[in-house]
Amino acid sequence: MVKSDLSRDSLGVRLRSVAFNIVFYVNLVVFLVAGSWLLLAPRAWAMAGLRAWARASLWWLDVICGLSMEVRGQEHLVAGACLCAGKHQSAWETFALVSVLSDPAIVLKRELAFIPLFGWFALKFRMITLNRSAGPQALKGLIGQARKAALAGREVVIFPEGTRRPPDAPPEYKPGAAALYLGLDLPCVPFALNSGHFWPRRRMIRRPGTVILEFLPPIPPGLPRREFQKRLEQEVEAATTRLVAEARA
């Protein structure tokens, strides 16, 4: 199925994909450079700028490539602080989630914080950085940063597999989501999506259609680690399989 997905892209899709990628990265550079004054402004202003950039990117994606977004299950989002954990298939969700959630604190790999301007903004937004080479200390630092975000009433967002995975790849859930669930003692809102079908990782193709982002019923706090891990993986994977099949249909 993946092979046929990759081989069916027409010349028009490829050309529109190239056009969008140019606009996308120009838009990003303009935001980073022209909006650099936001580094000295209140964080709320900087977050407003980030949301504006995310929505502009989604708009360009729809206009140029015919790729829109549908959000399902927003009634499952918890008012105030919560943990959001779900699938990571492409770069799409890294900015699409910003346009949907009220004040997300997204877990990022620490290396991104060292990129000039981009990393400075990540720190300004008070995103959560994870030093994956630090071993057990990495989880302690992760929980500490997440607790500060939760105290501010923010949604803590983590991709449990730690990296982008193709739609048909077997799940590889890392311990970070479970560590946050136990350390924060907050409800966890799982989410599933099918972005990898339309925006394949490591490829420049952007296919027309509708990316579906679906929030699932919250998992209440207090479950044992293994029970939470099993429930999170089962619910996210089942919903993701359904959404990917819907996209391919």
State the DSSP H helix or E strand holding residue 228, giving kind and residue range, or none if neither. helix 225-248
At residue 134, the pLDDT reads: 67
Q: How far apart are CA 203 and CA 124, in angstroms?
A: 30
Instruction: Provide the token pair at 136.
Output: 């057990």
Tokens 């027309």 locate to 208
Return per-residue pLDDT of the chain as tens, 249 residues. Answer: 444 454 578 899 999 999 999 999 999 999 999 999 999 999 999 999 999 999 999 999 999 999 999 999 999 998 899 999 999 999 999 999 999 999 999 999 888 888 888 999 999 999 999 887 767 788 888 999 999 999 999 999 999 998 999 998 999 999 999 999 999 999 999 999 999 999 998 888 999 999 999 999 999 999 999 999 999 999 999 999 999 999 998
Q: What is the pTM of this model?
A: 0.91
The CA-atom distances, in angstroms, between 48 and each of 27, 53, 146, 157 are 16, 9, 21, 18
- CA distances in angstroms from 206 to 31, 172, 248, listed in the order given: 22, 25, 14
Q: How many whole angstroms separate alpha carbon 73 and alpha carbon 131? A: 32
Instruction: Tell me the one-letter amino acid at 52.
Output: A
The DSSP code sequence of 126-139 is TPEEE-GGGTHHHH
Judged by DSSP in three states, 16 sits in helix
Strand partners, 16: none
Structure tokens at 51: 């949301």
CB-CB contact of 213 with 90 (8 Å): no
HSE-up of residue 194 (Cα within 13 Å, Cβ side): 26
Provide the 3-class DSSP secondary structure of residue 84: strand
Residue 90 is given by DSSP the state: S
Going by the DSSP 8-state scheme, the letter that residue 216 receives in this structure is P
Which pLDDT does position 7 carry in this prediction? 53
Spell out the domains of the chain, with CATH numbers in brackets: 2-248 (3.40.1130)
pLDDT score, position 194: 97
